[in-house]
Amino acid sequence: MTRHFPPPRLEDAAHGSLLVEAARCWRNARDTGQSAQPCLYKILASHNCEMLVPVFDSLMHLCEDALGRPVSVGEAAALSGDEHLLLGLIDGSKTRRVCIDCTEGAASALDCAICSTRIMMDLAFAHAAGDVSGRFMPTQSVPPVMH
């Protein structure tokens, strides 16, 4: 069964800024030849969202694969185009099909990563807020495809 999960609530500036901070940390680690996950852990654990470490690491790798180039990041308050794209893909205001032209394999992998990131961000934010139930209730169920 396939389920559609709504995008996380990124209207809270802290959630959007956490995503940008994680992307910049990941980019810096990659550019300096370090492992990205320890850097991500430091940032995310301080927000009680350490479960997002592998999620963001995978999302960033798959985003670069789909783009066919390294993700660019901004500085201070200035967001790069890629950071705007990443925020839009996660909050649902942009679609991968429209924004990134890539191979079918890269597209499928990135689409899965976007969906997984949405789910895990919502669970992490709910957990950090003390809501162990999260907010995910499927908005639509689709019967399994028979081959």
Three-state helix/strand/coil letters over 93-120 = CCCHHHHCCCCHHHHHHHHHHHHHHHHH
Burial string for 93-107 (b: 16+ CB within 10 Å, else e) reads ebebeeebebeeebb
pLDDT at 133: 54
Query: 46-105, pLDDT tens digit by residue?
Result: 989 999 999 999 999 999 999 999 999 999 999 999 999 999 999 999 999 999 999 999
Supply angle C-alpha 128, 132, 138, rounded to 5: 110
Q: Tell me the pTM.
A: 0.80
Q: What average pLDDT does this structure show over 21-33? A: 97
- Residue 142 confidence class, pLDDT cut points 50, 70, 90: very low
pLDDT at 131: 65
Give how far Cα 31 sits from Cα of 15, 24, 117, Å. 24, 10, 23
Are 8 and 122 in contact by the 8 Å Cβ rule? The answer is: yes
Query: 74-89, pLDDT tens digit by residue?
Result: 999 999 999 999 999 9
